[in-house]
Structure 1
Amino acid sequence: MRIGLIADTHLPSLVRSLDELGPQIADVLRGVDLILHAGDVTAPSVVEWCAQFAPVLIAEGNNDIFDDARMAKKQMLDIHGWRIGMAHELRPESRPIDQILQSSLDGERVDVLIGGDTHVERLEFRDNVLLINSGSPILPHHLSTRLGTVGILEVTPASVRSEIVVLGHSEGSANPCKAMYLEVMAEHLSRHGGGLTAEAAR
């Protein structure tokens, strides 16, 4: 399964659609099977824009003051035996994973943990958990409106492959983000009591 990861799509008042920033965001999301939005959607129109590509699930952010059946404080999925959890706020992301899980997912154990809120891309394998923050596609690093990052997660029974995709530069505004890639292999899926090992990163 190929999953698109997006977060913190705070549309400025003069921007009506993510398309106005160019085709790059759509190009990455086109062809995914599912989109996970890690919160601070801010505008319901963004949900419908994402839904043109694939079904959407949302972790409610602190700026999401609208109702949507696809949105919840946390999202939990089981895909090919991998347990995936998503909540908007994981910060400070440098804390031990157990502390993050306790505060963000009520202590539920996961193999993959997805969050947002910081607007800063992050991808790491720590304490047997793959942690992903896809950053913001339009307000990277809390700078002015410009192209930033989205994420891709590819899940198979044997592995999860994750990538932070830098969307390019906006005219007159450099993209401050860094591309990242990490693959985690499962010799035995965690639900069977096995361990996870990081295979490659760059």
Structure 2
Amino acid sequence: MKIAVISDTHMPKMATGVPPALADGLRDVDLILHAGDWQTLAAVELFEQFAPLDGVAGNVDGEEIAARFGRQKVLTIGGYKIGLVHGDGKGKTTERRAAAAFAGEKLDLIIFGHSHVPYHEVLADGTVLFNPGSPTDKRRQAQFSYGLIEIGEGMRVRHEFYAEKK
């Protein structure tokens, strides 16, 4: 199983369509997970054209997106427990807020967004903490990014980077 992980698309403010490099990466995925800050339901509809979709709402998302996806969830995919949260809030770093959102739960992977900064850390308990970055709003990052999860004999999580969103 191949899963694309995206966050902080901020569409249509930061892009009116799916960037070509991201579209190429989405063509053969089985599922797309979005960690919030879609901005509009139009973004949801764009990504649904590629593959089944799940996600959470972020701090800039309206009630329609929050009602559809919720703000936090745990999914079991291919036998792995995956937490999904945007990561916004007060206090701590974005990474620590994301981990704290699932305190007391044994997860294999926690996916979060909010900072637009690609992040990949294996915590002391073995949980992978992962932020895909942003495919449309890299802010101060050198490149745009998204994530890929491959589940087969084990789970592999990695970033994909590209320079242009045109």
Matches within 5 A, 1:1-202: 1-11=1-11, 13=13, 15-18=15-18, 21=19, 23-68=20-65, 70-89=68-87, 92-93=93-94, 95=96, 100-102=98-100, 104-105=101-102, 107-127=104-124, 128-140=126-138, 142-143=139-140, 148-156=144-152, 158-169=153-164
Q: Which runs of 5+ in 2 are unaligned?
A: none
Distance 1:46 1:94 in 2: 25
On the 8 A contact 2:21/2:165 being kept in 1, the answer is no
Distance 2:14 2:85 in 1: 28
Which deviations, in whole Å up to 9, do the C-alpha atoms of 1:122-176 show, x marking residues without a partner? 1121221111100011111x249x96101100112x31111100023358xxxxx
Larger RCO (CA under 8 A, 6+ residues apart): 2
Normalising by structure 2, report the TM-score.
0.85
1:107 positional shift: 3.5
Distance 1:70 1:137 in 2: 22
Distance 2:81 2:157 in 1: 15
Larger-Rg structure: 1
Distance 1:124 1:14 in 2: 27
Which deviations, in whole Å up to 9, do the C-alpha atoms of 1:45-70 show, x marking residues without a partner? 11111111111111110101141464
Q: Which runs of 5+ in 1 are unaligned?
A: 172-202
Q: Amino acid of the residue matched to residue 2 of structure 2?
A: R
Distance 1:148 1:46 in 2: 17
With over 3 angstroms needed to count, the CA separation of the structure-2 counterparts of 1:15 and 1:152, relative to structure 1, is: closer
**Aligned-partner SS, 1:75:** strand
| Identity between Structure 1 and Structure 2 (%) | 34
